[in-house]
Structure 1
């Protein structure tokens, strides 16, 4: 999951927006009885995932002769700003693969069609309820869950076995102990943590808290419980078998590469890396990949953030395009389509009936399905995803010893208070 959102130039945004049909209703070849052409902005990986979606588009067109789909792959870290610009000028695509954090924000602006009662949500009871919940804003549903993800403790079973560790650690203290044993027995580090705020969410949830309490309208990432969680997070960068914090721009790649090559025994990671795990020398035997629920904090309960993407329909297009878009969304989120996507891309389906026996032969998918119970849905707060920005600035400084935990959290709290000005501290 490449979670950063990068600002893009207005010219680039408008250029891409020009490829979308939006509300023009004119892209049927000028013929009233011609096919309706809808535009889909897909934000998936252009190399590993997009070919599967392009093949499904062709299947949809073959089954729906009156609809054409203009497929556009948009780089994930540019898509939010591009869509925001395009929708504001009435030139957005008819369907967007919207990251779950974007959905309430765009719904608040009126850019998405409420899908309740439409054919796109005809199978609503087949989807995991928590995923439907995080596609909602103010009681209405603005996206159909397309793919989901969460974080898990992924580990090298062979290295754990060499260290005499029979099962994955269930608490952070157990993880520290395991890391030391692995270092003693194998010579490699047992755990390498991330300084990114998204990955630190596990430590907040383990203390029964979050960055904010939406119901109480209160900023909580600097509370006593949160400080305890961040203190545990910080303590996992120093000790036997614990890799020191990497605060470089390439930290994500460094951690991932070390894991797949067997140079570190465990990391926290999401299912978007399943295909890349298997490309590493440590996991040529897929069964060597261990996947477990993230360790629990002192509250005794483990929790991980829920990510993923919804398919949402643009509210600025005409009825013909919206109707075609709804039909397309239903097709792409069907059990058959989700099974195909899971088999080809090793991503997690959002509906239970897509976890077929064949899908679950992939140990990565089966493993991540087993940890979904610990995934916590995001609150319907449009600004929620933006709250990690200030923490992404401060946490690396804390981990590198450049500022204290208290100072860094104070700085982050001040920045977050500007993002949610009606929330108290």
Structure 2
């Protein structure tokens, strides 16, 4: 599905442009601070979203005849955020509500560009959402979005390749993962690929218990401690060992045609990624239908159950002084994200749930087929794969923080830490260079910076 691919692209994206002044995009949408547009007594609100189609808007308008929702696809990650920054800076043309990925949300919240949804009662919704998604929309004591979907990390693997290599037990620890990687490499395949993915690095540091980034409650002080954080060091050292011993494919870039072919043919035997990948696998690597399975991520401590997120997005309300539009926007946000009808609709299209009720439904947990090219296929060999993914969602550790300029941070990962994947220095040296660049950037943006 489109939004599934968006999440992975966003995790890798070269998106520095959103942080740089560029010409205004000339949006014709009504600004969030403008007078409420009314037609025949209706309040009109504008929604920017890349994965909501007109049908759900129509459903909402049928239930709320006094509200009109203007749906605009302003593009994904870089395109949408650049347009949003321009519109907010110009003081006109911004939407009333926008789909914003979890990793980008803090930037808008800390700059005071989003409404704190606590005023609408959102703080009472904690138990409705999964721990990881709820944590991701809570920033500096406020609630700045409602979760729309999620990406709990999971271990997707090609059982046929694993069996061929003599790996008959799914690795439960990272030591076992390392041992399995050596066996799989001996057959000519790689256990996973990574050509330098900043979003993946974040997720794995998170799963290792890391907290390298922190922003003060007042948004003025940022801690950037990649070189000293124990979780970051643990993952960096482990992944360097995998690179040094040629146990991961560092040449194949994710989302390329080569990547899809190698996943389908078994040259890449597994993935450590978000739960939303199921549809992408079945659609883009159909030759491996029936061969893949799903398990939990390996753990740093035997018997532990710690997980992280990769991808996912929220729906947020742009700051406004127009009460009529804010009330209408909140109604739509509740419908699409918090109502049973809205959640069921999104899950039916293939979004991985952000709410606990959807994760507990038998029709979701018992599913053995994946929708690919409008057909239902047993891509995971008849496994009830959503059972495993629901467990992964429950195990997500809360409290991980993204930088208040995470989009910029990911855009400069390739030229710093990413060099290690092409053999240009070590990953630890690259992470050190990445931190230095982030510190400089934070200072240039007026933040007080701490490095430990």
In the superposition, the TM-score normalised over structure 1's length comes to: 0.84
1:157-172 to structure 2, matched below 5 A, reads 157-172=159-174
Residue of structure 2 equivalent to 1:403: 425
Residue of structure 2 equivalent to 1:47: none
Distance 1:212-1:295 versus aligned 2 partners, 3 A rule: same
Query: Helix, strand or coil for the counterpart of 2:45?
Result: strand
Counterpart CA distance in 2 for 1:119 and 1:407 is 46
Alpha-carbon deviation of 1:387? 3.5
Distance 1:220-1:282 versus aligned 2 partners, 3 A rule: farther
Residue of structure 1 equivalent to 2:330: 326
Of 65-74 and 150-159, more deviation after overlay is shown by 150-159
Alpha-carbon deviation of 1:352? 0.8
Alpha-carbon deviation of 1:187? 4.3
Residue of structure 1 equivalent to 2:271: 267
Root mean square deviation of aligned Cα: 3.0
Distance 1:167-1:13 versus aligned 2 partners, 3 A rule: farther
The aligned length equals: 407
Query: Helix, strand or coil for the counterpart of 1:177?
Result: helix
Of 386-395 and 309-318, more deviation after overlay is shown by 386-395
Task: Specify which of 4, 14, 17 is matched with residue 25 of structure 2.
Answer: 14
Contact residue 188 and residue 267 of structure 2 kept, 8 A: no
Residue of structure 2 equivalent to 1:369: 390
Residue of structure 1 equivalent to 2:344: 339
Q: In the TM superposition, what whole-angstrom CA distance separates every residue of 1:283-313 from its partner, at most 9, and x where no partner exists? A: 433xx43222322347986543454211111
1:222 and 2:227 are equivalent in the alignment: yes
Distance 1:119-1:224 versus aligned 2 partners, 3 A rule: closer
Of 356-365 and 291-300, more deviation after overlay is shown by 291-300
1:69-148 to structure 2, matched below 5 A, reads 69-77=69-77, 78-88=79-89, 89-118=91-120, 123-148=125-150
Query: Helix, strand or coil for the counterpart of 2:169?
Result: coil
Alpha-carbon deviation of 1:203? 4.4
Alpha-carbon deviation of 1:76? 1.4
Counterpart CA distance in 2 for 1:294 and 1:366 is 14
Task: Specify which of 234, 255, 259 is matched with residue 255 of structure 1.
Answer: 259
Distance 1:309-1:244 versus aligned 2 partners, 3 A rule: closer
Distance 1:281-1:320 versus aligned 2 partners, 3 A rule: same
Of 62-71 and 307-316, more deviation after overlay is shown by 307-316
Counterpart CA distance in 1 for 2:214 and 2:118 is 27
Task: Specify which of 283, 289, 298 is matched with residue 284 of structure 1.
Answer: 289
Query: Helix, strand or coil for the counterpart of 1:375?
Result: coil
1:293 and 2:325 are equivalent in the alignment: no
Distance 1:266-1:67 versus aligned 2 partners, 3 A rule: same
1:58-77 to structure 2, matched below 5 A, reads 58-77=58-77
Q: Which has the higher contact order (CA 8 A, sep 6+)?
A: 2
Residue of structure 2 equivalent to 1:416: 438
In the superposition, the TM-score normalised over structure 2's length comes to: 0.80
Counterpart CA distance in 2 for 1:395 and 1:365 is 34
Runs (5+) with no aligned partner, structure 1? 45-49
